[in-house]
Amino acid sequence: MKQNLTPTRSHLYEHVARIGKALSSPKRLELIELLAQGELTVDVLAQRSGMDIRLTSAHLRALREARLVETRRDGKFIHYRLSGQDVAELWMNLRETAEEHLVELRVALEQMAMEPDALSSENRESLLEKARNGDIVVIDVRPGDEFDSGHLPHARSIPLGELEQRIADLPAGKKIVAYCRGPFCLMSDEAVRLLRARGFTAHKIKDGVAEWLKRGMPVER
CA atoms lying within 13 Å on the CB side of residue 15: 6
Q: Are residues 50 and 86 in contact, defined by beta-carbon separation less than 8 angstroms?
A: no
Q: Beginning with the edge strand found earlier in the chain, give each strand of the sheet holding 156-157 in spatial order.
A: 156-157, 136-140, 175-179, 202-204
User: How far does CA 33 lie from the centroid of its chain?
Assistant: 5
3-state SS of 152-201 is CCCCEECCHHHHHHHHHHCCCCCEEEEECCCCCCCHHHHHHHHHHHCCCC
Question: Which residues make Cβ contacts (< 8 Å) with residue 66, sequence separation at least 6?
Answer: 18, 19, 21, 22
- Is residue 185 part of the annotated active site? The answer reads no
Q: Are residues 175 and 164 in contact, defined by beta-carbon separation less than 8 angstroms?
A: no
The alpha carbons of the chain give a radius of gyration, in whole angstroms, of 20
Q: Are residues 53 and 43 in contact, defined by beta-carbon separation less than 8 angstroms?
A: yes
CA atoms lying within 13 Å on the CB side of residue 144: 4
Active-site hit among 44, 69, 176, 180: 180
Catalytic residues: 180
